[in-house]
Structure 1
Amino acid sequence: MLRSMYSGISGLKNFQTKLDVIGNNIANVNTYGFKKGRVTFKDAISQTTAGASTSTDTRGGTNAVQVGLGSSISSIDTVDTAGSLQNTSRTLDLGIQGDGYFIVKEGTNNYYTRAGNFYLDEEGVLVTGEGYKVQDINGSDIQLNIAALQSFSIAQNGDINMVTTGGANQVAATIALAKFSNPGGLEKAGNNLFQESVNSGAPQIGASGTDGRGTLSSGRLEMSNVDLSEEFTDMIVAQRGFQANTRIITTSDEILQELVNLKR
């Protein structure tokens, strides 16, 4: 069989994966804190039909003769650039201006997120929309005393400043942020959550405004970093690449048909 046919098949698979990633990006264009994906390709192994030779006194050197055998997926990256902040005027909507991640917990499992649309449950615990509990700088759940709460605000450093019914001011808790040496190595866990991986590095936990974790902005949410114009352009490129590889397979099939028809 022709090598070109299998090269075309590898191209079809790769561009299908690229279209899958683009489709997921577009589907999450309005998902708070979403980080888009990116596919990169690499060439597959090449078959060497003749090796390189060195020069001699009578003849110059020659290069190797190699035939490529298609392409493969090099990586599917998470592009962790910051999205723009959207004003919501809601105190519990928090945006991060920097590289940090909120820490949320379910049971004993820690997760990390850039989506700061938080809520207070019936017991005054600060949670995500799915009920994951937001953590403070001490690694504890954040719980406000609703019975004594008159109003509250959240400062840029993560302090939750509470005014009690008696008029007293106090800091109820400080929201923690985590920073990673390789945030692109975090694994997506669904529900706007990421989890630590062996290549992301351990979380460096602390208050916002310290060690490059960024500052909090109350009343704002981080939008998805998906650029629709870029995604549609990539979609056109992937579509044309897919079509070109189908043409390779069609042409290879026509050649094989001619070989079959040699004996009539």
Structure 2
Amino acid sequence: MLDTIYIGMSGLTSFSKGLSNISSNVANLNTTGFKGSDLQFLDLFYQRQLSSGYSSAGNGHYQGSGVKAGESSIKFTQGDFRQTGNDLDAAITGNGFFVIKKDNKTFFTRAGQFEINDAGNLVTRDDGSLVQGYASGSLQNINISGNRSVPATATTQVRLSDTLSINDATFDLSNVTLIDSLGKDHAVTISFVNNNATVSGQWNFTIKEGTTALATGSVLYSGSGVPVPGQERFTFAFSPVGANPNQVTIDFSNTNSLSASSSTIKLSSQNGVKAGFLTKTALNTEGYLVLSYSNGQSNQFQQLALANVDNLSSLKPEGSNRFSQNGKATLVMSTAGKMGLGTLQVSGVELSNVDLAREFSELIVVQRGYQASSQVISAANEMIQQLGEIRGRK
């Protein structure tokens, strides 16, 4: 009966470990990207006992030795998505892990809580591990330190649209803004004069900044009211004081000259921009870091690396929601949506995949198993006591 006590003790020990596994899962219910685990229970080896009068070739009696807690297996099922409003948070839908580096070691994680540190690196919010980007087949740190501002770009093209009415003798298009190489605004006026009486369909114009004439030219329209081929554009030299000189082209291709009640010609666009400073960093669904600047410009920067292995059991949990590659497995490295890797959801994170209802069900089973094992030990103990009492009465 002593072996019965030891068998019962194996049950107590194994179910205690089962309780610890459930406790860990439940404790990480709100841990971002956490993957729960299942503990495996294994029966211990059997002892073969031959009954009296039977040969060794018979089946005999096999006596079990109890149970032991085996390895735990991690469940890599998808967790729910929760919106956080943080522009640098991301979650993977489907296969894959984010790739991070800490102390020159590479880790994989599903916890996509990122930020930009003082050095301009994209890092994990918990411990500052370097988030890896992927380009040209290799990993690289994502760093924006050289992209916190963008220089001014001088205007090289001005697009006009709408109508120069042939019923008007003159028309002034004011508040056309040109930007020089230093990012300074220059308000210019284009004054049009109808020259139809001399040359059919022709308008002459003067480009002025204040009272200073910068250039003069003309545009010729056909009988249908559209610019004559070769007359759609006019280029002049723009040389503001202190800035680099450049050529500016006035594009008339989207204008017309018809018999309208009045002229409506206007500025459609110009391609110059002022200097800009970084105002926002955000991840998009393709994994690119998008940099937005005060001048309205944006820059699609480096792209997040995603990785996966064909044998998830080869991943070793390292704590802090990260894994390392431990064992033989084929590593796939690319970006979101490629090579079987999942897609991204941004401004939110993946929650733990722990199913609380399932864990509570397992808790009941483990509790019952522990209780039953303790009852076996109690019963064996009472039988031993009774045996002792019989010996004592002799």
TM-score (norm 2): 0.61
Tell me what 2:386 maps to. Answer: 258
Measured after TM superposition, the shift of residue 74 of structure 1 is 3.0
Contact residue 88 and residue 281 of structure 2 kept, 8 A: no
1:41 aligned counterpart, secondary structure: strand
Cα separation, 1, equivalents of 2:77 and 2:60: 42
Asked if structure 1 preserves the Cα contact closer than 8 Å seen for 2:25 and 2:36, the reply is: yes
Q: Give, as a single letter, the amino acid of the residue that structure 2 aligns with 1:3.
A: D
Partner residue, 2:118: 122
**Which of 305, 315, 319 is the aligned partner of 1:176?**
305
Contact 1:179–1:203 (Cα < 8 Å) also in 2: yes
The amino acid across from 2:128 in the alignment is G
**What is the aligned partner in structure 2 of residue 97 from structure 1?**
93
Distance 2:318 2:362 in 1: 25
Q: How does 1:62-73 map to 2 (within 5 A)?
A: 63-73=59-69
Give the corresponding residue for 1:85: 81
Q: 1:62 Cα deviation (Å)? A: 6.2
Distance 2:85 2:377 in 1: 56
In the other structure, the counterpart of 2:198 is: none
Q: Matched residue of 2:133: which SS?
A: coil
Residues 123-162 of structure 1: matches in 2 within 5 Å? 123-129=119-125, 130-137=127-134, 138-145=138-145, 147-148=148-149, 149-162=278-291
Contact 1:156 1:209 in 2 (8 A): no
Q: 2:365 aligns with which of 212, 237, 248?
A: 237
* 1:45 shift after superposition: 0.3
Partner of 1:208: 336
Deviates more, 1:86-95 or 1:141-150: 141-150
Counterpart for residue 9 of structure 1: 9
Alpha-carbon distance in 1 for matches of 2:79, 2:9: 36
| 2:140 aligned counterpart, secondary structure | coil
* Unpaired runs of at least 5, structure 2: 52-56, 150-277
Q: Is 2:332–2:339's contact at 8 Å kept on the other side of the alignment?
A: no
Greater shift, 25-34 or 139-148, is seen at 139-148
Distance in 2, Cα, partners of 1:19 & 1:83:
23
Give 3-state SS (helix, strand or coil) of 1:82's partner. coil
3-state SS of paired residue (1:112): strand
1:109 to 98, 102, 105: 105
Identity %: 32
User: Going by fraction, where is strand more abundant, 1 or 2?
Assistant: 2
Q: Which residue of 1 aligns with 2:212?
A: none
Asked if the contact 1:97–1:216 (Cα under 8 Å) also holds between the matched residues in 2, the reply is yes
Pick one of 72, 81, 87 that aligns with 1:76.
72
Where do 5+ consecutive residues of structure 1 fail to align? 52-60
Aligned CA RMSD, in angstroms, stands at: 1.9
Shift of 1:166: 4.9
Residue 190 of structure 1 corresponds to which residue in structure 2? 319
3-state SS in 2 of match to 1:234: helix
* 1:38 counterpart = 2:38: yes
Greater CA radius of gyration, 1 or 2? 2
Check conservation: 1:196, 1:202, Cα contact below 8 A: no
- Is the partner of 1:261 in helix, strand or coil? helix
Q: Shift of the alpha carbon at 1:179? A: 0.3
Distance 1:248 1:238 in 2: 15
For 2:279 and 2:30, locate their aligned partners in 1 and report how far apart those are by CA, in whole Å: 33
- Count the aligned residue pairs: 254
The structural deviation recorded for 1:233 is 1.2
Q: Retained in 2: the 8 A contact 1:79–1:184?
A: no
Partner Cα distance (2:10, 2:341) in 1? 41
Matched letter for residue 352 of structure 2 = S
> What is the CA–CA distance in structure 2 between the aligned matches of 1:84 and 1:101, rounded to whole Å?
16
